[in-house]
Amino acid sequence: MYKLLTLFLCLSVHLAIAQIRQVETFYDAENKVRKEKYAIRQSKPPVIEGNYISYYANGNTKAKGQYSENLPSGTWEYFYENGRMKMTGNMAGNLRTGLWKFYFENGNPQMEGELKEGSRNGLWKFYYENGKVKSEGWFENNLKAGLWTYYYEDGKPKAIAGFNENRGIYKEYYTSGKLKMEGLLIDERSDSTWRYYYEEGTLKATGPEKDGIKTGFWHFYHPNGTLMSEGNYQNGHTEGTWKYYDEQGKLSATGNEWAGEKEGTWKLFYPSGAVKGDAEFTKGEGPYKEYYENGKLKAEGYIKNGKNHGSWKYYALEDSTLEGTAEFVMGEGVYKGYYKDGKLKMQGALTDEKRTGVWTLYKPDGAIAGYYQAFYDSTTFEFKPIEPPVNASTNEPPSPDLPYEKPPIRLKKPKSRYFKPVVNEHKTFILSTNPLALATGSFPVSLEYYFRERLGYELKYTVYRNPFFKANSSIDLNTVFRGGFSLDLRQKFYQPEGSLGMLYFAHEARFSYIDHQANILEYRNSVAVGRTLHAPETLYEYSLLFGNRWMHRSTHRGFTIDIFGGVGIGYRNYRQKWEANPDFDEIFEDVRKRKLTVPVRLGISIGYAF
């Protein structure tokens, strides 16, 4: 009997062991780079059971924990690719439960708190990347409840809010402790009427907000409490008629805005009510005229993005003769003033209509009268004389950096052949694209100004959308898709044409904006609500390229093909536009987030030379 019992137990253990099968998966076809390791109980259907571990392609652990009856259970740990802890906590019935802790890639805590059946409950803390507490407060069924406290990165109190089911009054303070702003938050976004304050305590601005952006009619105030401006916002941008006032409450300017830029006729006024200036704007730029208070023309020129740009003329009050001219580039310019007979009177730099640096004054006979430094205080301007530089007898204006020293004589360097124009050389524009790129979720269009066998300046715009021909709303839940654009500027240096085309080397600056998105379902009050998560990134990259251009007819219209490759370096700014949530983070786990980028450029384009 004893022998039969022993034999039965051995057979039972053998059968139990035989029912468990170890499974390993790999990244590569040669089964050298391990991806996962786990066990399956060979039942019908098969069930994952026991320890589970997954790996990054570099061999570091990605996640580890246990399965019970096909569901994760017990303590689980997740890691960054550099081996540091990413998050850890308990699983039960495929849901996070108990205390969970999340970490930044540098090892400092990111957030921590209690989860109950996957929903946040109880006290939660969120941290800055330097380890300081960013905010802390309570959740009830995944919604903020009760008092929440927010902090600046140096640890000083920043704001407080009292929530009830994710709705609450938010008050933010300056580091001095003075009130900075207050208003209603709904689902982490500003809503209803908001009020903003100067640090001295007076009202700075007030108006309605919706979904975190300004909307409707707003009022802005000077520090002395008088109205500074008023107008309407649409989708966060100024729109419609806006009025501006000086600190005494007198109308100083009025005009229309469209999508945040000045549009149409604008008028400026003196405190007396006389017209000071008028302009005709198109998308924030246009011609401008300024008048003396008696109505005579004072100045005329062009304004772009709120700054003087291009050629400007200035006129005398007495007889409206030309008093001066200036050439501006986005607010920076050189001014020349004249005597009545047109001879040069003064010369110097202007920055946003203010005299800066060293100015040169001339006598009526053309001799230099002196050098003066421009000085401003809070209310007045004055020229103060300075010692003349050593080259004063030459009647040439001095360098802004005094004292001036005559440079040594240098032979002029010969120009590189790339920058040396050729008589009657062929120049053309090349319009290109790559329809094959649609398969990878992008569509590029470029325009190149080409100088035969010498130079090329190419501007390329690329639209990103993956999948390209599928509506966002029809993409599967919890699946990451993307949209965005990039803008490239390339300078190409072509070699003489050979039998296979023109080899070239180039450098490229690229700006990219990519919005990673995912459709999800949220449950609010037991009702499933659709939502799209957004994780935008901006990239600034610089690359070196090598390529070859083939042209059907190098000096005539015709088709052309450009093949290129290269490598670069860049910076990525990745942002997640949702409240902290580990489930959302996991959806975007495979999206690249490292700040340093090493872009590889490989491509082909088909174009037509006009």
CA distances from 32 to 21, 53, 375 (A): 20, 16, 72
**If you average pLDDT over residues 449-474, what whole number do you get?**
90
**If you average pLDDT over residues 542-549, what whole number do you get?**
96
The residue among 346, 316, 314, 352 whose CA lies nearest residue 333 is 352
- Whole-angstrom distance, CA of residue 503 vs CA of residue 420: 19
**If you average pLDDT over residues 338-358, what whole number do you get?**
90
With a pLDDT cut of 70, the percent of the chain lying above it is 89
Report, in angstroms and rounded to the nearest whole number, the Rg of the chain calculated over CA atoms: 34
**If you average pLDDT over residues 437-454, what whole number do you get?**
91
Point out the least confidently predicted range of 115-119, 121-125, 352-356, 524-528: 524-528
Give the SS3 label for residue 42: coil
- Whole-angstrom distance, CA of residue 101 vs CA of residue 103: 7
Residue 377 pLDDT greater than 70, yes or no = no
Query: Which comes out higher in pLDDT, residue 474 or 185?
Result: 185
Q: Which two tokens stand for residue 41?
A: 């109980």
**Per-residue model confidence (pLDDT) at position 419:** 83
- Whole-angstrom distance, CA of residue 495 vs CA of residue 221: 62
**Per-residue model confidence (pLDDT) at position 356:** 87
Q: Which residues contact 584 (CB under 8 A, 6 or more apart)?
A: 520, 533, 576, 578
pLDDT bucket at 522, cuts 50 / 70 / 90: confident
Cis peptide before 271 (omega within 30 of 0): no
Domains in the chain, CATH or no CATH each? 417-609 (2.40.160)
pLDDT bucket at 226, cuts 50 / 70 / 90: very high
**Per-residue model confidence (pLDDT) at position 329:** 93
**If you average pLDDT over residues 214-237, what whole number do you get?**
96
**Per-residue model confidence (pLDDT) at position 535:** 92
Sheet strands (E) in 189-260: 189-197, 203-210, 213-214, 216-221, 227-234, 237-245, 251-258
Whether the CB-CB separation of 254 and 265 falls below 8 Å is answered with no
- Whole-angstrom distance, CA of residue 400 vs CA of residue 396: 12
Q: First and final CA of the chain: distance in angstroms?
A: 99
Q: For residue 52, how far is the Cα from the chain centroid?
A: 40
Q: Which two tokens stand for residue 332?
A: 């920076």
Query: Which comes out higher in pLDDT, residue 413 or 220?
Result: 220
Whether the CB-CB separation of 49 and 67 falls below 8 Å is answered with yes
- Whole-angstrom distance, CA of residue 385 vs CA of residue 347: 14
Whether the CB-CB separation of 151 and 134 falls below 8 Å is answered with yes
The residue among 161, 224, 236 whose CA lies nearest residue 198 is 224
Long-range contacts, stretch 347-352, CB < 8 angstroms, 24+ apart:
347/397, 348/374, 348/397, 349/400, 350/308, 350/326, 352/307, 352/308
The residue among 135, 98, 143, 104 whose CA lies nearest residue 118 is 98
**Per-residue model confidence (pLDDT) at position 45:** 85
CA distances from 59 to 78, 558, 580 (A): 14, 52, 29
Query: Which comes out higher in pLDDT, residue 383 or 475?
Result: 475
Residue 78 pLDDT greater than 80, yes or no = yes
Q: For residue 162, how far is the Cα from the chain centroid?
A: 32
Highest mean pLDDT among 469-473, 520-524, 562-566: 562-566
Q: Which residues contact 602 (CB under 8 A, 6 or more apart)?
A: 564, 565
pLDDT bucket at 497, cuts 50 / 70 / 90: confident
The residue among 567, 430, 589, 441 whose CA lies nearest residue 506 is 567
Whether the CB-CB separation of 604 and 436 falls below 8 Å is answered with yes
Give the SS3 label for residue 8: helix
**If you average pLDDT over residues 463-473, what whole number do you get?**
88
Residue with tokens 């580990």: 582
- Whole-angstrom distance, CA of residue 62 vs CA of residue 48: 18
CB count in 10 Å sphere of residue 529: 10
**Per-residue model confidence (pLDDT) at position 162:** 96
**If you average pLDDT over residues 132-146, what whole number do you get?**
96
Whether the CB-CB separation of 584 and 571 falls below 8 Å is answered with no
User: Which helix (H) or strand (E) is 3 found in, with range?
Assistant: helix 2-18
**Per-residue model confidence (pLDDT) at position 374:** 75
Antiparallel, parallel or unpaired: β 213-214 and 227-234:
unpaired
Query: Could you give the maximum distance between any two Cα atoms of the chain, in Å?
Result: 133
The chain-wide mean pLDDT, for the chain, equals: 88
With a pLDDT cut of 90, the percent of the chain lying above it is 70
pLDDT bucket at 417, cuts 50 / 70 / 90: confident
Q: Is the pTM of this model over 0.85?
A: no
